[in-house]
Chain A
Amino acid sequence: MIYAVAVLVPLFGSAVAGLLGRAIGDRAAQAVTILCMIVATICGETAFIQLVWGGAPTGTVRLAEWVSAGSFHVDWALRYDTLSAVMVAMVTFVATLIHIYSIGYMGHEHKPVARFFSYLSLFSFAMLMLVTANNLLQLFFGWEGVGLMSYLLIGYWYERPSACAAAIKAFVVNRIGDLFFAVGIAMVFFLFGSVSFSTIFAAVPQHLNDTYALFGTNYRALEVICILLFIGAMGKSAQIGLHVWLPDAMEGPTPVSALIHAATMVTAGVFLMARISPILEHAPVALGVITVIGASTALFAATIGCVQNDIKRVIAYSTCSQLGYMFIAAGVGAYQVSIFHLVTHAFFKALLFLSAGSVIHAMSDEQDMRRMGGLWKKIPLTYTMMWAGSLALAGIFPFAGYYSKDAILEAAFADGSPVAIYGFVCGVLAAFLTAFYSWRLLLMTFHGRSRADHHVLEHVHESPLVMTGPLIVLAVGALIAGFSLRGLFIGADWHAFWRNSVGVAPGNHILARMEEIPAWAALAPSVLALLGIALAYIMYVAVPTLPAGIAARFAPIYRFLLNKWYFDELYDAVLVRPFFALARLLWQVGDVTIIDGVPNSIAHIAEDSAEQAVKLQTGSIAVYAFSMLIGVVLLITIFLIFR
Chain B
Amino acid sequence: MNQAGFPLLSLITWLPLLGGAVILSVRGDEATVATNARWTALWTSLIVFALSLLLWGEFDSSEAGFQFVEHLTWLPQFGVSYRMGVDGISVLFVLLSTALTPICVLASWESIKKNVREYMLAFLILETMMVGTFCALDFVVFYMFFEGVLIPMYLIIGIWGGPRRVYSALKFFLYTLAGSVLMLLALLAIWYFAGTTDITVLLHTQFPTNMQYWLFLAFLASFSVKVPMWPVHTWLPDAHVEAPTAGSVILAGVLLKMGAYGFLRFSVPMLPQASTYFAPLIFALSVIAVIYTSLVALAQTDMKKLIAYSSVAHMAIVTIGIFTFNAQGIDGALFQMLSHGIVASALFLCVGVIYDRMHTREIARYGGLVERMPAYAATFMLFTLASMGLPGTSGFIGEVLVIFGSLKINFWLSLLGGSGMILGCAYMLYLYRRVIFGRLTRADLQAILDLSPREVAVFAPLVLLTLWMGVYPASFTHFFETSVNAMVSQHQAALTGGATRLAARLPDQKVLP
Contact = CB atoms under 8 A, between A and B. Distances in A.
Interface of A: 22, 64-72, 137, 140-141, 144-145, 148, 151, 155, 158-159, 161, 164, 167-168, 171-172, 175-176, 178-180, 182-183, 185-187, 189-190, 212, 214, 579-580, 582-584, 586-587, 590-591, 595-596, 599
Contact of A66 (B422, B437, B473): B473
- The binding surface of chain A is classed by DSSP as helix
B78 interface: no
Given A141-B392, A179-B421, 20 more contacts: A67-B473, A67-B477, A70-B326, A70-B328, A71-B327, A72-B327, A144-B392, A148-B390, A155-B433, A159-B368, A164-B438, A168-B433, A176-B422, A183-B414, A186-B400, A187-B407, A583-B296, A584-B299, A591-B234, A591-B237
Given A158-B437, A164-B437, A580-B299, A65 B403 contact: no
Interface of B: 171, 174-175, 231, 233-234, 237, 292, 295-300, 326-328, 331-332, 335, 368, 370, 374, 385, 390-392, 396-397, 400-401, 403-404, 407-408, 411, 414-415, 418-419, 421-422, 425-426, 429-430, 433, 436-439, 471-474, 477-478, 481, 484-485, 488
B407 A67 contact: no
Given A164-B433, A172-B425, A70 B439 contact: no
A322 B390 CA distance: 29
A494 B433 CA distance: 49
A593 to B, nearest CB: 11
A611 B472 CA distance: 61
Nearest to B480: A69
A69 B401 contact: yes
Contacts, number: 150
Contact of A183 (B171, B326, B411, B429): B411
B391 A145 contact: yes
Contact of B421 (A70, A145, A182): A182
Contacts of B419: 179
B474 A68 contact: yes
B292 A168 contact: no
For the complex of A and B, the 6 pairs showing the least CB-CB separation, nearest first, are A70-B327, A69-B331, A583-B299, A141-B391, A158-B437, A186-B407
Given A582-B295, A591-B296, A168 B331 contact: no
B509 to A, nearest CB: 38
Contacts of A189: 328, 404, 407
Contacts of B437: 155, 158-159, 164
A70 B385 contact: no
Contacts of A145: 390-392
A71 B471 CA distance: 19
Nearest to B385: A148
Contacts of A71: 327
Looking at B328, B374, B408, B439, which has the most chain A CB atoms within 10 Å of its CB?
Answer: B328
A248 to B, nearest CB: 14
B485 A186 contact: no
Contacts of B429: 151, 167-168, 171-172
A151 B231 CA distance: 34
Given A171-B429, A176-B422, A65 B474 contact: yes
B364 to A, nearest CB: 14
A571 B326 CA distance: 38
Contacts of B472: 64-66
Most chain B beta carbons < 10 A, residue from A69, A172, A214: A69
A22 B408 CA distance: 49
A190 B407 contact: yes
Given A586-B296, A587-B296, A596 B327 contact: no
B221 to A, nearest CB: 14
B392 A72 contact: no
A525 B44 CA distance: 77
Given A69-B332, A161-B438, A595-B234, A140 B391 contact: yes
Contacts of B295: 579, 582-583, 586-587
A83 to B, nearest CB: 21
21 contacts: A65-B472, A68-B474, A69-B401, A69-B477, A148-B390, A155-B433, A155-B437, A159-B368, A159-B438, A164-B438, A172-B422, A172-B425, A172-B429, A179-B418, A180-B415, A182-B400, A186-B403, A190-B407, A583-B297, A583-B299, A599-B174
Nearest to A111: B371
A189 B335 CA distance: 19
Given A145-B391, A145-B392, A190-B408, A587 B299 contact: yes
Contacts of B296: 583, 586-587, 590-591
Contacts of B298: 579-580, 583
Contact of A70 (B425, B426, B488): B488
Contacts of B407: 183, 186-187, 189-190
B368 A596 contact: no
B400 A137 contact: yes
A171 B473 CA distance: 25
B327 A69 contact: yes
A68 B234 contact: no
Contacts of B233: 595
A72 B404 contact: yes
A186 B411 CA distance: 10
Contacts of A168: 426, 429-430, 433
A175 B425 contact: yes
Contacts of B335: 69
B485 A183 contact: no
Contacts of B174: 599
A186 B404 contact: yes
B63 to A, nearest CB: 17
A265 to B, nearest CB: 15
A258 B133 CA distance: 56
Nearest to B237: A591
Contacts of B401: 67, 69, 72
Contacts of B433: 155, 164, 167-168
A159 B439 CA distance: 5
A549 B401 CA distance: 59
B62 to A, nearest CB: 14
A68 B478 contact: yes
Contacts of B415: 179-180, 183
Contacts of A161: 438
Nearest to A73: B474
